[in-house]
Amino acid sequence: MQTRRILLLTPHPFFPWRGVALRTRHTAAALAQLGFAVDLLAPPGGDPPRDLPGVRFLSVPSLPWAARTDPGGAPARGFCRLLLAARALALACVNRYETVHGVEAAWPAAWLAARLCGAGAVYETAGDAPDGFRAAWRERQALRHADAVVTNEPAVAGRMRALRRESRACLIADIPGTWQAPDAGGRAEVRARLGAAEGTLVLTVVGSLRKFQGVDLVFNALPEVLRGEPRARLVMVGGTAGEIAAARALLRRANLEAAVVFLGRIPAAELAQVLAASDLLLAPRRGDARAPMRVLDYLRSGVAIVATDCAANRSVLTPECARFVRPSPEALAAGVLSLVRDPERRAALGEAGRARAARDHGFDAFQEALRRCYEYVHRCGGKARSHAP
């Protein structure tokens, strides 16, 4: 029996703290477990997932002169995408792929490779609304010509409906970025590393240190939290070195630096341990319509959550698994202290969150949704193959 081969393209290096990299890892793992042989092609850099049976990790060339360009700049991104397309086409010339799956900006390369080898073409998008005419045009081309579109955002299905392509939309919810089971015996060790002595209340926030993430709400709520619970300790996961230095300077001026631990960006395995060793998890986001993947990690950990009442958090959390508060320092502090004084409520919220993660955001459901999507593309058999990217 001939092996069914998949070419999975992502335009992002594998940095283990980024949601898009973690979702691509989950996709590769799920497809491999379904019996596909997966070639995963990505730009160089980061920490590629080389521990997945059935997945062959491939990288575009890393050229010395290109490494000197700004990796976040438009010329560098464009050059990397050209290299991605060239490598994808080379692979399509020598491998008989059944499907080529392009994540976000890797779609043009995926479409070209699929056309070259007669494969189905799957486009995956996070669903952010296009910003500007050119972005909207590029998205319309992808939605119109993909054999299937994988997304976690219902609004994408709406945009496909307008193009009469709604039947090709595959809504597949995100799953937690963490997949490792925390070591129960390691809780004391992790808390000791965080400087959390016996009886310390560990409050953890995961995300960048930018204002839209609500980090200012947390810092401004901290004095009131410490007045109500002097043994509280705030753990910040994420942020660049520059962001951390700036935050430390602000806290130093407010005489709060000793109450905060900065871990920076950490891989999923370490994050799972830190979350499990926490007493409360804070989700202080200000806006957006879609929750970041870390909120799913919160749910999976079984630790109680205090979340600002906004569209992003409401898209995943409910009052049964999180304590919602207004997006203000005073409300956030009050929400934290209310759960500090009610351990039974804390435990109930944590267990409800764990159950919700298992029910609505589990790996098995993610894998089954991908299986149905790929079977749909396989059944189409190229009857409606596209003619433009």
Q: List pLDDT tens digits, range 313-357.
A: 998 999 999 999 999 999 999 999 999 999 999 999 999 999 999
Q: What's the confidence (pLDDT) of residue 68?
A: 44
Please indicate, yes or no, whether residues 132 and 13 belong to a single structural domain of this protein: yes
List the end-to-end C-alpha distance of the chain, in Å, as a whole number: 32
Mean pLDDT of the chain, nearest integer: 88
Same structural domain for residues 286 and 368?
no
CATH code of the domain in which 99 resides:
3.40.50.2000
**180-204 confidence digits (pLDDT tens):** 777 766 788 888 888 888 889 999 9
Predicted pLDDT at 208: 83
User: What is the reported pLDDT for 365?
Assistant: 94
- The parent domain of residue 339 ranges over 184-360
Helix (H) or strand (E) holding 281: strand 280-283
Same domain, yes or no, for 271 and 370?
no
Angle CA 168–171–177, to nearest 5: 140
**Within this chain, do residues 13 and 108 fall inside the same structural domain, yes or no?**
yes
Total number of domains in the chain: 2
Shared domain check, 348 and 267: yes
Specify whether 68 is located in the same domain as 17: yes
Reported as type and span, the H/E element at residue 333 is helix 329-340
Q: Residue 75 has what pLDDT?
A: 47
Are 334 and 192 within one domain? yes
Q: 275 lies in a domain?
A: yes
Cα–Cα separations (whole angstroms), residue 93 to 119, 159, 196, 276: 12, 33, 57, 47
The model's pTM is 0.88
Residue 389 in domain? no
Q: Is the dihedral of CA 348, 354, 334, 227 positive or negative?
A: positive
